[in-house]
Each structure stands twice: as structure tokens, then as C-alpha cells.
Structure 1
Amino acid sequence: MANEEKHPDSEAQAYHHGRLKEALKTVALEIVQESGEKGLTFRELARRTGVTHTAPYAHYKNKDALLAAVAADGFRKLADRMDQAAADLDPDPLVQLAAVAQGYLQFALEDAAYHEIVFGAEISVDRDDPELRAADDEAFNFVRRLFVSAQEAGAIRDLPADKLTMILWASILGCAEALRMGVAQKRGIEDREELIHLLLDVMLGGLAPR
């Protein structure tokens, strides 16, 4: 494609034409990690990927669309983390929920740039993008199914699974922020596994059948 012509910038990383779409997402993630959304411009993307300043528009109509694609990758990465955390464990849905919660917290702490784009209120993302909505639903429903399984097994009360999933997600977000800011450590909670176990003890204890 003509508008993916290489830009004569000696500092730029050269990318083959067929790799530019993925490269733009990779570099966008790097820029957000370095300087936040304010540092992300298509001109800077073009400079770093070694293409003309109009080339990124061949793949993404604007910055919101690009960030939506990065966020979709983030949700897929989150789903993979949760799947890996629960793999080969006891099929008990409560055991699975505990493992998935740990996987989610690990994602929030170790993939901070993805996490900021996926959940950050300060990041401008096209939340109506179909690919992003599908990836969001995939990750959300992974957890939702475990709550439904726990209800079917009689382990927790029959409350709306969507709401339970959202409460767990929001709680883990809070735990991640407490660990990131050092608030949990100041209160004597050093270990992320301990924090998740305490969270689930409180949450699932309150959901026990009455």
C-alpha cells in the first residue's frame, strides 16, 4: 500500500507492510506506558514505526479506534490469564473463582499498561467498537459462568450473576490499586494472594446459602 511507505527517520523501527497494523498497537501500548494517552499521536506512531504520518490511518480511523483495538487485546490477555490460572485445578467453582481472581489481580499488576487502557477512566477508547465489546464479553462471561456454576452446585445464593461478576471485578480493581499505591502494605497486607483470599472469604461468606 502506498500510504505505508517507509519514513526516512533513522531512529524509527522499520516494519514490513504486513506487520504495520500489529506494530501500531505494540507501539501505542509503549507510548501510553511511557507518557500516558497525551503522548500518543499518529505522527509519533508513524515516526516510531518508520512510516509516513498518514500510514496509520490505513488501519485505524483515529486514536480512539486504535486504543479500542489495544483494549480488545488487553481483554483477551486477561481472559488468557484467568484461563491459565484455573487450568488443571479442582473443578469446584469456588476453587476456580479463587484462582481466576488471582489471575485477574496478576494481570492488573503486571500488565499495567494494558490494564490502564482496558479500565482507565482517563483513556479515550471507542467502547462501542464491536471487537472490543466481544473481547470484553468473553472475559466477563468467563467469570460469570463460574458464579452460575457455583449457584447450580448450591455453593452460593441465587443472586444475579452479572452483578456478582461486576462486584468481584470492581473489588479486584480496588485491591490492585491498594497494592500499587502501597496502601495495603501499610496496613500489613504484603501478599497479593493473602489479599485475594481475604476478599473472597468476605464476599463468598456473605453469599453462602441461608
Structure 2
Amino acid sequence: MSTSASKKTYHHGDLRDALIVAALEVLEEGGLAGLSLREAARRAGVSAMAPYRHFADKEALIAGVAAVGFQRFADLLRQADAKPDAHEALIAQGVAYVDFACARPALFRLMFGATSPNVKGDLALAGESAYAVLATRVASLAKPAQAADWTLTCWSVVHGLAMLALDGKLDPRAESPTVLVERMLRLLPVNG
């Protein structure tokens, strides 16, 4: 890409987004090992130095990619939560959670691997937004004093099944991970 095209992209204000899209492509194709600022810049058609206008380092790019992942994830959870029956909405969220993990394993691992107690900014807000979809639904089902515990229980079930599926720890002859998560969530007496 020519210098004028690079500047045009930057002046349109979409260089950051273009770098994140490029980084998502790299991540989906080859995992985290292939992800670098240089490769994102190459795919976005800009100079190797251009990403530094928006990302201080690779870790900042990873946080940006993870934040976008959590935004997409939260959108899927909200769509699943639209069921009229509260318990069915909770189950639909669990299925959407596992589906997302299985469809985008590298992104899913990045999202949960990039988060740490000291993460701030867009990534922390995006992660909290996704968790809030679950917490709000569980709060509609559980006794107030037990809502936080039930939220953690439901999250543990769906996240655990998602990780077992990604790590190949589920019997391949058994039911699909989404069928399993649906069955597991039906066992939980969330309104207990």
C-alpha cells in the first residue's frame, strides 16, 4: 500500500479498527504465536511503525483484540437472553457461550488469558459487560442473597465445559458440548 493510502486510512480514523481486524485474522489463522504488531500492520497495509499510534506494544494490541472479542461475546449473550422464559434464556446464554468458544477458540482463549486483576480500560469494561448479561439473568431467577453464588456457579459450568471442549477432554462419541451445557444448566436449581 502506498504512503498516501496509509495516511488516508489513518486520517479516516479507522487505523485502530483496521489493525484489530487484521489481528483477529492472524489470531484465527495461526493463533497467538503469529500475532504481532508488525504482522497486523502488514495485513492492514500500513508501515510497521503505524500501529504505535494506537498501541504501545503487542500487549496493548492483544488487549484491544480481547476487548472486541468480549463486545461480540456480550452481544451474542444478549441475543440469547431474549427468550421470554427466564430459565430458557439462561440456558440459551450457556449454549451461546459454548458455541462462541468452539467457533472461535483462539479468540476465546485470548479473551480469558488476556484478563488479569490489574487490567483496566476497554478490556475490563468489555469483560464486565459480558458477565453482567449473565448476572442480570441469574438475578431474575435466584434469591437475592444467593444471586452472586448462582452466577458464579453458572459461569463455572459453562466456562468449564467450554474449556473441556477446547482442550479435547470431552468424549468425542458423547453429545456435543452445547447439548451437554444445556443439560447441565437444566440440572441447576438456580431459583433454589
TM-score, reference length from structure 1: 0.76
Contact kept in structure 2, 1:107 and 1:115, CA below 8 Å:
yes
Extract unaligned runs of 5+ from structure 1.
Answer: none
Contact kept in structure 2, 1:25 and 1:70, CA below 8 Å:
yes
With over 3 angstroms needed to count, the CA separation of the structure-2 counterparts of 1:36 and 1:198, relative to structure 1, is same
Amino acid at match of 1:189: A
Give 2:86's match in structure 1, choosing from 93, 96, 120.
93
Alpha-carbon distance between aligned partners in 2 of 1:158 and 1:142, rounded to the nearest angstrom: 18
Aligned to 1:68: 63
Identity of aligned residues (%): 31
Structure with greater Cα Rg: 1
Give 1:134's match in structure 2, choosing from 117, 120, 125.
125
Q: Secondary structure at the match of 2:127?
A: helix
Aligned to 2:183: 198
Aligned to 1:26: 21
Alpha-carbon distance between aligned partners in 2 of 1:94 and 1:132, rounded to the nearest angstrom: 29
> 1:106-153: CA deviations, max 9, x gaps?
111112232121113xx588962311111111111111111111125x
Contact kept in structure 2, 1:108 and 1:176, CA below 8 Å:
yes
Aligned to 1:184: 170
Q: Which moved more, 1:136-145 or 1:167-176?
A: 167-176
> 1:172-196: CA deviations, max 9, x gaps?
222123334444334x422334201
Q: Using the TM superposition, give the Cα deviation of residue 42 of structure 1 relative to its aligned residue in structure 2, in angstroms.
A: 1.9
Give 2:109's match in structure 1, choosing from 99, 116, 122.
116
Contact kept in structure 2, 1:143 and 1:165, CA below 8 Å:
yes
Aligned to 1:166: 152
Contact kept in structure 2, 1:6 and 1:50, CA below 8 Å:
no
Contact kept in structure 2, 1:67 and 1:125, CA below 8 Å:
no
Alpha-carbon distance between aligned partners in 2 of 1:37 and 1:183, rounded to the nearest angstrom: 22
Number of equivalent positions: 190
Aligned to 1:40: 35
Q: Using the TM superposition, give the Cα deviation of residue 6 of structure 1 relative to its aligned residue in structure 2, in angstroms.
A: 3.1
Alpha-carbon distance between aligned partners in 1 of 2:157 and 2:145, rounded to the nearest angstrom: 20
Amino acid at match of 1:165: T
Contact kept in structure 1, 2:27 and 2:35, CA below 8 Å:
yes
Contact kept in structure 1, 2:157 and 2:181, CA below 8 Å:
no
With over 3 angstroms needed to count, the CA separation of the structure-2 counterparts of 1:38 and 1:45, relative to structure 1, is same
With over 3 angstroms needed to count, the CA separation of the structure-2 counterparts of 1:14 and 1:136, relative to structure 1, is same
Contact kept in structure 1, 2:142 and 2:191, CA below 8 Å:
no
TM-score, reference length from structure 2: 0.83
Alpha-carbon distance between aligned partners in 2 of 1:194 and 1:127, rounded to the nearest angstrom: 35
Q: Using the TM superposition, give the Cα deviation of residue 76 of structure 1 relative to its aligned residue in structure 2, in angstroms.
A: 1.1
Contact kept in structure 2, 1:64 and 1:124, CA below 8 Å:
no
Amino acid at match of 2:185: L
Alpha-carbon distance between aligned partners in 1 of 2:126 and 2:167, rounded to the nearest angstrom: 28
